[in-house]
Structure 1
Amino acid sequence: MKKYFLVLLLILCNTWAFSQNTLSLIIKDSENRMPLIGATASVKGTTIGASANASGALELKGIPDGQQVIRFSYVGYQDRQETLTFPLAQTTPLIILLERSGEELEEVVISTMRSSRTIEDIPTRMEAITLEELGEKGNMKPGDIRMLLSESTGIQTQQTSAISANANIRIQGLDGRYTQILQDGFPLYSGFSSGLSIMQIPPLNLYQVEVIKGSSSTLYGGGAIAGLVNLITKKPTEEGELSFMANATSAGGLDLSSFYGKKFGKFGVTLFASRNTNKAYDPADIGLSAIPEFERYTVNPKLYFYPTESTHLSLGVNASQEERLGGDLRYIDGEKESNYYFELNNTRRLSTQFNIEHRLSDAAILSVKNSFSFYDRDIAVPGYAFEGGQFSSFSEAAYSLNRDKHEWVLGANLWTDKFREQNAGAVGARDYENTTAGIFAQNTFTPVDWFVLETGLRTDLVTPAPANKSKGLFLLPRLSALFRITDNLTSRVGGGMGYKTPTIFTQEAENVTFRNILPLNTSQAAAETSIGGNADINFNTLIGEKISFSINHMFFYTYLNNPLILSLRPDNLYEFRNASGYIDTKGVETNIKFGYEWVKLLLGYTYTDARQHYNGKVTGMPLTPKHRVNNVLMLEKEDNFRVGLEAYYFSPQRLSDGSKGRDYWINGVMIEKMFPKFSLFLNFENIFDTRQSKFDSIYSGNITDPVFNEIYAPVDGRVINGGIKLDLF
């Protein structure tokens, strides 16, 4: 009897063992057949499930016999279900193709690093503001790019004038002059033209904005000590685009923008045009403008030519003109006979961009680009005027080679920058002329799937040579590495060196409208030099079957030597000199993102510890909040509606006199409803009317001769704007 029982038990065990099946799968994108790393498969009604590896492969083990429903899913792709009968006759892995969902953005391909890699595969830590995000931020501030930059962790747009709304970009606590702003890789916004640059660039013709935080010297020169912002404009497409935007604000603003782009066989064209105006606006009722009166016109036509499949040419012109008047409302309203305070800024900008790319083979590309820029600006305050013109050029030739394990970028470029002051006063003309010739090499090496190394080396020759470089020679190495620790966990580490040649165009000089500033003696002024680095860790996964989760945490540090400062002499004249000491800035940035169907929650935190080490004393960097918190909740259904809720916290900021401003929150609500050919939007910016004039003063002294305090909080308060966007084809 015992013998029969053992035989029966053995048969049952064998039956149970054979009823446990294994299913091998490879999950890929239905369009490009690329493996979907992290895609999941699960057996419905059981706890059996697995995630795909770097090859898109996975195994489901322990599947019972009979009909089973297998569910396949991946963030941004349509779920798929297959009913299979086990055991399967097929022994080779099943290929499962998933289709992108309608709400999925295309892969983010980065052009700033001269590579065709996606943002996930580049060793240099990059951030991209994509077309969808540009649409959201464009609803909030259609007239300029200040909004879309200021709401990123680690980036602050610092208002520098209480009545003219001038502002600059500060990355990781460093002054705006250490950030390079490019348009399609061309350095069009530097030197004299940087003072109002972010206030004069509308966003409607932008396709993507790419941001590098920290030194990025190899391809674009040493000026990008704090970071780099590359504004990528839209290109013509076969289907074409014709769009218009009209926006009005409760502060008296009106923005009208249009964009057209289309390919016609071997030719293509894009055309962007805008008119942006605002009346003087004084929400605090103190008699001074928080938003100045201004009128700006911008036009940017660009012609593309494709003579062969291997050769592409483009030629563009960027022209703008603006008149900006801030100050006492009585003066702005036309009472010119009295001694009222005002700030007048009239600017004219004209630049050309030429680019030719020729594909020598499937792996090699030769490119040549050139730009000429002219920028003219008149600044006037009571009793003083500063006028001048900046002429600059940029030329580059580069060769790119893409092999299986190596990518090379080799090239040389030449900058020229000349400024001429008109009607110079008693201190003399602040003219200058700089030339920078550079050669560079960048290599991206992928020895194994889990590791990518990017190295770069640049050599610049600057004339006239700064005081600390007798021959004007700068050697700038850079290194970045990407580690794929698991399918869901990656890390980047990188660092490099940078420099900034001395000029009079700093924020301190802007604050005094260049009055009583002595000409800069280049032979006695040293170049500012830097070394810095960052490291981050990025993790993404699915919580359950529907909720996507990602977190990125970054550490950064920058050491800046020989900072150029403006000092007041006993004779009440200002002169530039290099400080006896250095600046260092360190901190962390954390970005967390949750996604559930059409709901996204983004949380961000920035800690910045920026310090000045001058003459043996250590002080905090003025106008730099140590703590900043970003909270954004976005509800969005493709081609239907979009609702955004925002809340930003700024901790108390140290002011130049050693005192502190108070902390504050800024909150906003944005609503957009889409229709087949148009959409309507309404935005409540700073909905609870946070204003510095509510809890601190804007100026001291008499209103006819005000001494303005530093601006650390909004001065324009609550502004409601709304409008219409048309997309005709």
Structure 2
Amino acid sequence: MKRIFMLLPVMLLYCGLMAQNTFKAKVFNYQTKAALKGATANIPDLKISASADTSGLITIPNIPNGKFEMEITYVGFVKREMVYAFPQKAPEQILEISLEPSTGELAEVVVQTTRTDQNLRDIPTRIEALPLEELDEKSTMRPGDIKMLLGETTGIHVQQTSAVSGTASFRIQGLDSRYTQLLQDGMPLYSGYSGNLSLLQISPLDLRQVEFIKGSASTLYGGGAIAGLVNLIGKVPEKEPELTMLLNGTTAKGTDASVFYSQKWQHIGTTIFGSYNYNGAYDPSNTGLSAIPQTNRFTVNPKMFLYMDDHNSGWFGVNTTYENRLGGDMQVIAGNADNVHQYFERNKTFRFSTQLSFTHKIDDKSRINFKNTVGFFNRQLSEPGFDFKGRQVSSFSEVNYVHNGEKASWVAGANLLTDNFTAEPPQNSLNYNLTTIGAFVQNTYKATNWFSLEGGLRVDDNTPAPAKPSNGLFILPRLNALFKLTEHLTSRIGGGLGYKMPTLFNDESEQDGYQHIQPLNIGNTQAEQSYGLNGDLNYHSALGDEALININQLFFSTRVDRPLILQNNTFVNAPGHLLSKGAETNIKLVMDELVFYLGYTYTDTKQYFGGITGTQPLTPKHQFSFDSTYEIEGSFRFGAESFYTGPQLLSDGTTGKGYITFGLLVQKMWKRLDIFVNAENLTDQRQTKWGRIYTGSITNPDFKDIYAPLDGVVVNAGIRIKILN
């Protein structure tokens, strides 16, 4: 009997250790609440694990009593580590565990450009997005403008329009800049005359996301979105205040100083961005001409946000930029002009615009939105013996209704756009005036879990009207389809019509400096009309437990009838059409802290004019990009990138040389401080190495096409101070 009592505690202890408990939990995406099929729960001490079923449910039986650490993991999401005690107080309860997407996973991006605020994966329209994490990296590479941000995007080619002033435009899928739209929060702040210097006057520090639509987007945004659009989305205040300062210097005599502040209270919030950008005239090739002009720029962009109640909210912002940009002969810039050294190109610009956005939420599914922008842009372009002064006053107003249902989403609205350009004598014959009234409707229908269809229709009426056949009225249908073929493979196919009103503001006018351009008679010039089609395949999958791969293959084709061409300094309709077709390949591999990106663009743009076929100048057929980043979140970042631009036909009939550039970025981050060093074009590729960039004399140079860098190796270094975050 005594032995039995002695063995009883041992038996009870043994039974306790051998007690069997069952752990049950549902794992879901923190942002979208979607179940994460295949998520893994692991108990290291017991060396047991289990995976989630199609509903995200994980079940682990036969767990003994005690406290055990459990790891919940899913590829592309941040790992969670928790300690559970067994037996549980409510053993039958199914726990809910949420995982947050990691930095390298871009699958859960919510986009605004289609106006429905849907997840990127669920939209039939093909949209690419650069979220805040990637913009954070780009802002340390070139804090003063978005030229690099766009130039490093597959399918977008940045074209320099001045050899000495650095002005540039961007082209999507081989089509001129006039066929693209640059938007700020969905509003055309940078259209017409004011768009020519936009790439150089926008800072990425003020942005939280950039969205791209490549291909016709005219049904959503009207004339000019034939090749596509870029939507720059500004930051909004959060509950936690933010105060960030950035100081940057370059080996090319550049200095940037920026500050951003934001805070949200109960019913009000604000964001304030200000910057000063300076660059001294820089001539790395000793040509006697500035590869980078002398520049002084001030920018102030304040916004006020109102959160009146659960149904009404809005914001009001002001965009102000002043810039003095002087390029040309280095001796003239230094104030040492003489009989030989006389050439200069000065741009003085002042940009002021207001933005207003208001949303009334009817219920959980429906809302009404109103937005408006009024812009004023003044520019004085001066060259020896020539001054071109002009100002633009433009406005855009839109009201739309959005309804997001379980099966169908609707967007319907109307907008009014005015654009008035006035030049001072003697160039006042170039004055331009346009009013556009438009209405549109769009429906997104989720027929099944694997198929969605998005259709839209827009009607625009323009005054003054161009010559027939359209006579100012344009009807623009669009159709896009999304196929979720498997869990890992999706496809989008879409197309639509577009148009572009005749205008003087394009790359050719900028290259000429408006000196010889003749007036445009809209009534005697036909509008350009387009037909676009694109389709893609997208594959994403896990590679083992530590890697994620995403492969996207896009094919595109756009035809533009009667494109405007410059003949004898006058813009006329070409007797034929322009056809741009090609493909884009994007491969992204995420392996925990390491990310690899490979991009390739093939562009074949041909002119079919008067029965003669020719290649579009300044359009490289082949472009490659490679980028690799190693990042320990919040601690360290190292990046290396390389770009290849293939040979391209130039306007004089010669062929520009292909070239490769290479860059490096090192960034160390602490809680309140970042230090970064970035080097661009370490291969020192310069067009001036391969020949003169102008003909004639330095007194009166006639510049050739600029197709390669002029500034050579540029290293920048700086600090970012997060005073509040």
Q: Above 0.5 in TM-score?
A: yes
Does 2:393 match 1:391?
A: yes
Q: Are residues 373 and 81 of structure 1, via their aligned partners in 2, closer, same or farther at CA, if it must alter by over 3 Å?
A: closer
Post-superposition offset of 1:222? 2.4
CA deviation map 1:373-404 (0-9, x unaligned): 11111111112111111111111111111111
Contact 1:40 1:52 in 2 (8 A): no
Q: Specify which of 667, 672, 691 is matched with residue 667 of structure 2.
A: 672
Q: Specify which of 595, 609, 626 is matched with residue 600 of structure 1.
A: 595
Q: Specify which of 340, 364, 388 is matched with residue 362 of structure 1.
A: 364
Quote the residue 1:515 is aligned against.
515
Cα distance in 2 for partners of 1:361, 1:101 equals 29
Quote the residue 2:611 is aligned against.
616
Contact 1:352 1:371 in 2 (8 A): yes
Post-superposition offset of 1:49? 8.3
- List aligned pairs for 1:273-292, cutoff 5 A: 273-292=274-293
Q: Which runs of 5+ in 2 are unaligned?
A: 1-21
Quote the residue 2:4 is aligned against.
none
Q: Are residues 471 and 693 of structure 1, via their aligned partners in 2, closer, same or farther at CA, if it must alter by over 3 Å?
A: closer
Query: Residue 511 of structure 1 aligns to a residue in which SS?
Result: helix
Post-superposition offset of 1:518? 1.6
Query: Residue 208 of structure 2 aligns to a residue in which SS?
Result: strand
Contact 1:28 1:95 in 2 (8 A): no
Q: Are residues 92 and 544 of structure 1, via their aligned partners in 2, closer, same or farther at CA, if it must alter by over 3 Å?
A: farther
Post-superposition offset of 1:613? 1.2
Q: Are residues 125 and 523 of structure 1, via their aligned partners in 2, closer, same or farther at CA, if it must alter by over 3 Å?
A: same
Q: Are residues 307 and 93 of structure 1, via their aligned partners in 2, closer, same or farther at CA, if it must alter by over 3 Å?
A: closer
Cα distance in 1 for partners of 2:170, 2:712 equals 20
Quote the residue 1:5 is aligned against.
none
Query: Residue 362 of structure 1 aligns to a residue in which SS?
Result: coil
Cα distance in 1 for partners of 2:85, 2:126 equals 43
Post-superposition offset of 1:657? 2.3
Quote the residue 1:583 is aligned against.
578
Quote the residue 1:9 is aligned against.
none
Cα distance in 1 for partners of 2:26, 2:173 equals 43
Q: Specify which of 397, 401, 404 is matched with residue 403 of structure 2.
A: 401
Post-superposition offset of 1:647? 0.6
Contact 1:37 1:487 in 2 (8 A): no
Q: Are residues 93 and 300 of structure 1, via their aligned partners in 2, closer, same or farther at CA, if it must alter by over 3 Å?
A: same
- List aligned pairs for 1:264-663, cutoff 5 A: 264-339=265-340, 340-425=342-427, 429-469=429-469, 471-568=471-568, 574-663=569-658
Query: Residue 523 of structure 2 aligns to a residue in which SS?
Result: helix
Worse-matched range after superposition: 652-661 or 149-158: 652-661
**Letter paired with 1:144:** D
Contact 1:77 1:98 in 2 (8 A): no
Q: Are residues 82 and 29 of structure 1, via their aligned partners in 2, closer, same or farther at CA, if it must alter by over 3 Å?
A: farther
Post-superposition offset of 1:171? 0.6
Structure 1 vs Structure 2 CA RMSD: 2.7
Query: Residue 728 of structure 1 aligns to a residue in which SS?
Result: strand
Query: Residue 645 of structure 1 aligns to a residue in which SS?
Result: strand
Query: Residue 352 of structure 1 aligns to a residue in which SS?
Result: strand
- List aligned pairs for 1:227-242, cutoff 5 A: 227-242=228-243
Quote the residue 2:168 is aligned against.
167
Cα distance in 2 for partners of 1:360, 1:654 equals 55
Q: Are residues 357 and 91 of structure 1, via their aligned partners in 2, closer, same or farther at CA, if it must alter by over 3 Å?
A: same
Cα distance in 2 for partners of 1:420, 1:457 equals 33
Contact 1:238 1:263 in 2 (8 A): yes
Cα distance in 1 for partners of 2:200, 2:470 equals 38
Post-superposition offset of 1:105? 6.4
- List aligned pairs for 1:81-96, cutoff 5 A: none
Post-superposition offset of 1:59? 9.9
**Letter paired with 1:209:** V
Cα distance in 1 for partners of 2:457, 2:58 equals 41
Post-superposition offset of 1:177? 1.0
**Letter paired with 2:565:** I
**Letter paired with 1:484:** K
Post-superposition offset of 1:265? 2.0
Post-superposition offset of 1:697? 2.3
CA deviation map 1:185-241 (0-9, x unaligned): 110101111111111111111011111101112221121111110100001111111
Post-superposition offset of 1:509? 1.2
Q: Are residues 50 and 539 of structure 1, via their aligned partners in 2, closer, same or farther at CA, if it must alter by over 3 Å?
A: farther
Q: Are residues 83 and 316 of structure 1, via their aligned partners in 2, closer, same or farther at CA, if it must alter by over 3 Å?
A: closer
Contact 2:104 2:595 in 1 (8 A): no
Post-superposition offset of 1:337? 4.8
Quote the residue 1:187 is aligned against.
188
Q: Are residues 33 and 439 of structure 1, via their aligned partners in 2, closer, same or farther at CA, if it must alter by over 3 Å?
A: closer
Q: Are residues 597 and 331 of structure 1, via their aligned partners in 2, closer, same or farther at CA, if it must alter by over 3 Å?
A: same
Contact 1:103 1:637 in 2 (8 A): no
Post-superposition offset of 1:23? 11
Cα distance in 2 for partners of 1:312, 1:444 equals 25
Cα distance in 2 for partners of 1:314, 1:84 equals 49
CA deviation map 1:137-162 (0-9, x unaligned): 11111110011111111011111111
Cα distance in 2 for partners of 1:562, 1:654 equals 22
Quote the residue 2:225 is aligned against.
224
Query: Residue 368 of structure 1 aligns to a residue in which SS?
Result: strand
Query: Residue 252 of structure 2 aligns to a residue in which SS?
Result: coil
**Letter paired with 2:502:** P
Quote the residue 1:15 is aligned against.
none
**Letter paired with 2:414:** A
Contact 1:80 1:98 in 2 (8 A): no
Q: Are residues 31 and 540 of structure 1, via their aligned partners in 2, closer, same or farther at CA, if it must alter by over 3 Å?
A: closer
Cα distance in 1 for partners of 2:53, 2:425 equals 69
TM-score (norm 1): 0.90
Quote the residue 1:14 is aligned against.
none
Q: Are residues 276 and 52 of structure 1, via their aligned partners in 2, closer, same or farther at CA, if it must alter by over 3 Å?
A: farther
Post-superposition offset of 1:80? 6.5
Q: Which runs of 5+ in 1 are unaligned?
A: 1-21, 569-573
